[in-house]
Structure 1
Amino acid sequence: MTSIDARIGAARRVPFWLDTPDRPAARPPLDADTSCELAVVGGGFSGLWAAVLAKEANPDRDVLLLEGGRLAWAATGRNGGFCAASLTHGHDNGVSRFGEAAQTELDRLGMRNLDQIEETVARYGIDCHFERTGEVDVATEDYQLPDPATVSDGDYLDREAVRAELDSPTFRGGVWDRDGVAMLDPARLAWGLADVAEQLGVRIVEHTPVRELRRTDAGIELRTDHGTVRAERVALATNVFPSLLRRLRLHCVPVYDHVLMTEPLTDQQLSAIGWRHRQGFGDSGNQFHYYRLTADNRILWGGYDAVYHYGRRMKPAYDDRPETYRKLAEHFDTTFPQLAGIGFSHRWGGAIDTCTRFCAFFGAAYDHRVAYALGYTGLGVGASRFGAQVMLDLLDGLDTERTRTPLVRTKPLPFPPEPFAFLGIEATRRSLAHADDHEGRRNLWLRALDRVGLGFDS
């Protein structure tokens, strides 16, 4: 059997979603000073949705989208392609932050948001392999099994039922949320949204990083390497990258996540594990894996390690982490012994924008001339559309059911400066791993975080 190192070494160091001849050519950068009514900074999901929604609401609005690199090159093009209804990184996390009544309303808004994503994909004919197959939260240890009588947000599956869906000797049971998660190709969704935006009249420039934002008497001025943009309003969709608003610099940290992609499964291999309904899967541990099938029946296998580098540093070298890939490959082989020795075609990693409440937060600055949304913590594929709509609401000064929620009206605590951020994050990471090894029991550090509203249990 081919060794794990050889299998990893053969994998291409590029996100699978971007490794295609269908990737569109980059649009030209800004070539002169210009002005607009709405400038959108960032060409990921948040920015693309903001541009599309702004033009759908007001076709005459002059919208310019500025992307510092390529459209979808960052988190938008390297995630797992799980498009979830949840706006709060799960119901329980939302309840712990906002209370049961508020979370019920947020669950409703999140499901409507997912419905609207599906409707937009269908209406514009965006070919992003959208499949609303749901997700199974699977228990790999007995202590992770929920009481079937308490399951209200999905179908409880016992050991036999969950293995009938996807056969792994590690599965003890699970809960299938049949309608709250869709699988899709994230890069194709982004490219499709960009095409739609341009059809609606949005101007898009790539390779145009915004270096500075400042207020003027007439509005907001954005300085780039290729010219200055004067805008009446600005939507900041930069997420994990250092914010142009310095007040936000301590509110998010970059945490690195990594992914392996297998070669396409043969019919025999697919038959050996089942997976007829093509759901997404996620483990119930604190250190969890997420996995799904692609349109050509590869298995995307990611997660588990969450790596923070001292000083909030972000470097391309951090995207590739051999020790994490080895761990992922070992766990894959344990989960699917039927597929022993299968090759990996791609490996990649990148930063997720994480805040202390583990779900997005929003706000406005400069008398509502600038709005922002960030801190999605890995669930931005779906929630970014909601966040884009919130930014537009804030810029237009609208009082909506979105802006009235505590999700929008409150903000998380900032992370402390270094070295305290690094020490706290490392203590949390080690404590979560310890809990996984001790039947979920939370130590003194995790209980203290729970008491001050900073705890997390995936």
Structure 2
Amino acid sequence: MGLFTTAAQMRPIPRSTRFVNGAVSFWFREIGLPERRDPLPGSADYDVCVVGAGYTGLWTAYYLKKARPDLRVVVLEREFAGFGASGRNGGWLSAEFAGSRERYAESHGKGAMIALQRAMMSTVDEVISVAETEGIDADIVKGGMRLVATNAAQRERMVEDIEYLQEWGYWPDDIHLLPDDHGSPLAVHEAVASAYSPHAARVQPAKLVTGLARAVEALGVTIFEGTAVEEIRPRQGAARPAVVTEHGTVYADHIVRATEGFTSTLRGQRREWLPMNSSMIVTEPIPAEVWDKIGWEGREVLGDTAHAYVYAQRTADDRIAIGGRGVPYRFGSAQDKDGVTQPQTIAELWRALTRMFPDVADVPVEHAWSGVLGVPRDWCPSVHMDTGSGIGWAGGYVGSGVATSNLAGRTLRDLVLGRDTELTRLPWVGHQVRGWEPEPLRWVGTQVIYGLYRSADRRESKTPEEKAHTSRLAGLATRIAGR
């Protein structure tokens, strides 16, 4: 598909009479936008100040207060809790971990990376357990993860990826190729191979993040919304670390930066993490007779193995929500305010949806939205606490943050409290990488990378089975990206 989509290309897409583009996300439209909490009333002093009320910040505050109820913890948020990726993502609570396993193994050894992967698997159950304990109804169903290949090159890559993962912490029961006669009720059109992992659950992201915010407040954490952070200042001599906002300055012994895709908006952080755009559409509720053809009774989260991949879920009220990268990056790290999605991205996602499920071609699209996630230069997530400056951070999840943010929150708890634990010894702790190139290099590079990935997908879809291999264009894109 070209860079631009014409009105004629958009016309075939059925859109609901209730169609909305933006408005943060369908997830928040479903539950209603939350009533805003008060902004910071003025300068203040706390033990721990968390910047960002998404999953990472809220999990960090939650576990700190559970461990040390006497700690004075505050969370500062520019918009409202869950406004960013935490309230807009695809609802994949999975053990997937982004980043090069070899890079982490170089510094800590292969065993440490395997331990990190096993920790991710247990994190899925940890999130489910906390949701149950705190009474957070987030439509969670642990149906596992299904991956499909729709051409021979994807099938070959799927087999190779499974073999690779089974060398890095996945055992055969943790991810495996499904036999041709596996009898799954989920029917994906033209699927030539499928894989399954039990370590995943479907969630409603906005329900999870708003419920978590309520649980954090119930523990005694203060959340100030409508409070834009301008700068985070490290400890300097006798001067404590500080967070400078439009409403005053917060001083604290420890500051946790939990801003993920919005990190580039902070002073001095413009090239730290690339704000990568990801987009979604959701259908109207699908009729029962169509579900009889599709199946999907197990509510697995669903993805494909294309280079420009998509991810999907069957929602609690029987819609299909599907997402992908769309237009991945805006020049100068520009970010949308309200999640409005470009027409060509809506068209791309609709075509992906109807390729997988032709029977939903007449079901109208009810909502489209976008958001940003954080991408480090080496595409590897990290968590860190610098005891000298008093500043810590976590993020760079590259689209796999629903579970990873929980692991990060528990790890930051231990780092802030000065504990030496299995979590603080995991290899992503302290991982640092150089910043992204200045503009226009990072914009050009991103366009080239995703253009190559899409070209690779097109080539693979047209290659005869007997000649099918992963396109060299994809390998070139990966090398340019530095992944």
TM > 0.5 fold call: yes
d(CA) in 1 for partners of 2:242, 2:432: 26
Q: In the alignment, what sits opposite 1:11? A: 19
Q: Given the superposition, is the C-alpha separation of residues 112 and 343 from structure 1 closer, same or farther in structure 2, using an over 3 Å criterion?
A: same
Q: Counterparts in 2 of 1:37-436, with a 5 A limit?
A: 37-88=47-98, 93-95=100-102, 97-98=104-105, 100-145=110-155, 146-147=158-159, 150=163, 152=172, 153-161=174-182, 164-178=184-198, 180-214=199-233, 215=235, 217-242=238-263, 248-316=269-337, 319-365=340-386, 367-436=388-457
TM (norm. structure 1) is 0.90
Q: In the alignment, what sits opposite 2:463? A: none
Paired residue secondary structure (2:70): coil
CA contact (8 A) 1:82 1:184 kept: yes
d(CA) in 2 for partners of 1:399, 1:342: 53
Paired residue secondary structure (2:75): strand
- Calculate the aligned-residue CA RMSD, in Å: 2.6
d(CA) in 1 for partners of 2:181, 2:313: 20
Identity of aligned residues (%): 30
CA contact (8 A) 1:258 1:319 kept: no
Q: Given the superposition, is the C-alpha separation of residues 357 and 136 from structure 1 closer, same or farther in structure 2, using an over 3 Å criterion?
A: farther
Q: Given the superposition, is the C-alpha separation of residues 87 and 328 from structure 1 closer, same or farther in structure 2, using an over 3 Å criterion?
A: closer
d(CA) in 2 for partners of 1:368, 1:222: 13
d(CA) in 1 for partners of 2:17, 2:250: 45
CA contact (8 A) 1:211 1:224 kept: yes
d(CA) in 2 for partners of 1:74, 1:448: 28
d(CA) in 2 for partners of 1:304, 1:311: 18
Q: In the alignment, what sits opposite 2:465? A: none
Q: Given the superposition, is the C-alpha separation of residues 141 and 307 from structure 1 closer, same or farther in structure 2, using an over 3 Å criterion?
A: same
Paired residue secondary structure (1:118): helix
Amino acid at match of 1:454: G
d(CA) in 2 for partners of 1:357, 1:314: 21
Q: Given the superposition, is the C-alpha separation of residues 207 and 454 from structure 1 closer, same or farther in structure 2, using an over 3 Å criterion?
A: same
Paired residue secondary structure (2:241): strand
After TM superposition, the structure 1 stretch with the greater mean CA deviation from structure 2, 94-103 or 29-38, is 94-103
d(CA) in 2 for partners of 1:255, 1:307: 5
Give the gaps of 5 or more residues in structure 2: 1-9, 167-171, 461-468
d(CA) in 2 for partners of 1:224, 1:137: 44
d(CA) in 2 for partners of 1:133, 1:6: 30
CA contact (8 A) 1:431 1:442 kept: no
TM (norm. structure 2) is 0.86
Q: Given the superposition, is the C-alpha separation of residues 401 and 332 from structure 1 closer, same or farther in structure 2, using an over 3 Å criterion?
A: same
Deviation, 1:242, is: 3.2
CA contact (8 A) 1:361 1:412 kept: no
Paired residue secondary structure (1:271): helix
d(CA) in 2 for partners of 1:255, 1:243: 11
Deviation, 1:72, is: 0.7
d(CA) in 2 for partners of 1:168, 1:147: 18
